[in-house]
Amino acid sequence: MRRIRVVAAVVRRAELLLVTRRPDRPGQRGQWEFPGGKVEPGEDEPAALRRELVEELGCDAEVGPLLLRHDHAYPDLEVELAFYRCALEPGAEPRPLGVAEIAWARPGTLASYDFLEADRAVLAELERLARHGPDDRG
């Protein structure tokens, strides 16, 4: 089975979390995910995430600590997802360059978005970590 490494940004603005919708495919509306993408051979995770954010949103970002690592198996693909806390550069305004749509989700609403299966498994934990941080269990 093919295995890929994927990095994703957990970006918070006030209490809102940045989420993006993948482009539509024939007969299928794109699903929601946290912005990011595949790690290329020879690339470290923070560099891959910065590159993906520029490609998808036209924004530079500071990549902070790893919040969560999650493995997910689809029928034909294994995905290792690494979610990092990120901060957009001051004044940066994300634009949908490589994504179909951008949204700033309110706390408690992530489950109402049609997320990719791999992201859906960790939504509650990501929401908690975005609010409190990895070491704050409150």
- Whether the per-residue pLDDT at 137 is higher than 50: the answer is no
**Domain chopping of the chain, boundaries:** 2-130
- Using CA atoms, how far apart are residues 120 and 85, in angstroms rounded to an integer? 18
Contact between 83 and 10 under an 8 Å Cβ cutoff? The reply is: yes
d(CA 56, CA 20): 9
Q: What is the pLDDT of residues 30-39, one digit of tens each?
A: 999 999 999 9
pLDDT per residue as tens digits for the range 27-68:
778 999 999 999 999 999 999 999 999 999 999 999 999 999
- Regarding the domain delimited by 2-130, which CATH topology (the fold level of the hierarchy) does it fall under? Nucleoside Triphosphate Pyrophosphohydrolase (3.90.79)
For residues 103, 106, 111, 117, the Cα torsion angle rounded to the nearest 10 degrees is 40
Per-residue pLDDT of 117-134, as tens digits, reads 999 888 988 888 777 755
